[in-house]
Structure 1
Amino acid sequence: MTTSAAVRTRLIDTLQLDLVGPTTDDIDHAEEILPQAPSLWYLTGFLVPYEASFEQRSDDTGDDELDQLSRKGTGDDESTPEAASARK
C-alpha cells in the first residue's frame, strides 16, 4: 500500500525534475541531451556543467526583466463587486 508520504515524495521529485532539471546525482538523466536550449526546456532553471565558468552559467538570451503591465490593473479587492443576481 502506498502512503501519502511516499506519494508526496514522488510528486516533489517529479516536479523538481520537470521544472528545474536533474541534479548532479541523478544517474538516470546524467547523459541527457535536450532538443532545445535548457533555459527553454526547464521552466525554472537550466543546467550548467559542474565548475563551469561565469560565461557558461549565464544565459544571454534570457529576459531577466519581470513582465511589465501595459496598463494599471486593480487587484480583486480594489475593483467594484459584481451585481447580485436578481433571481434567486
Structure 2
Amino acid sequence: MSDNELLNAARDPEVHACTIGDVEHDYRPHIVVAAYGPGRPRTYLRCVWCHAVACGNYGETDPCIEPWHHEPKPHRTRSGVSWPIGGNRAEEG
C-alpha cells in the first residue's frame, strides 16, 4: 500500500502522537480508487499529518472528527455535538 493510500485508525501510534498537546487532526478529503473494488473510488476525511481516517463520512454535515475506531470515546463533531458509541446522534431542530 502506498503512502497515498495509507488509512490509519485510532489504535495506530501515529494517530495518537499527532494530537499530543491538544492539537486537532487536520482532516481533508482524500480519494482512494481501490477502496471498494476496481474503478469505484471512495473519498475519506484523512488527516494530512498522520493519515487518520475520521469516523464520520465525507459528505456528512458536521461529521464525527474522532479517528476511525475511537472506542471508548464518544462521537464528537467540530461544532461540539457528541453522542455515545452505539447510540444515535440527536436530531437538531
Between Structure 1 and Structure 2, which shows a larger proportion of helix residues? 1
TM-score interval, smaller chain = under 0.3
The structure whose Rg is larger is: 1
Q: Please give the TM-score of this superposition, normalised by the length of structure 1.
A: 0.25
TM-score (norm 2): 0.24
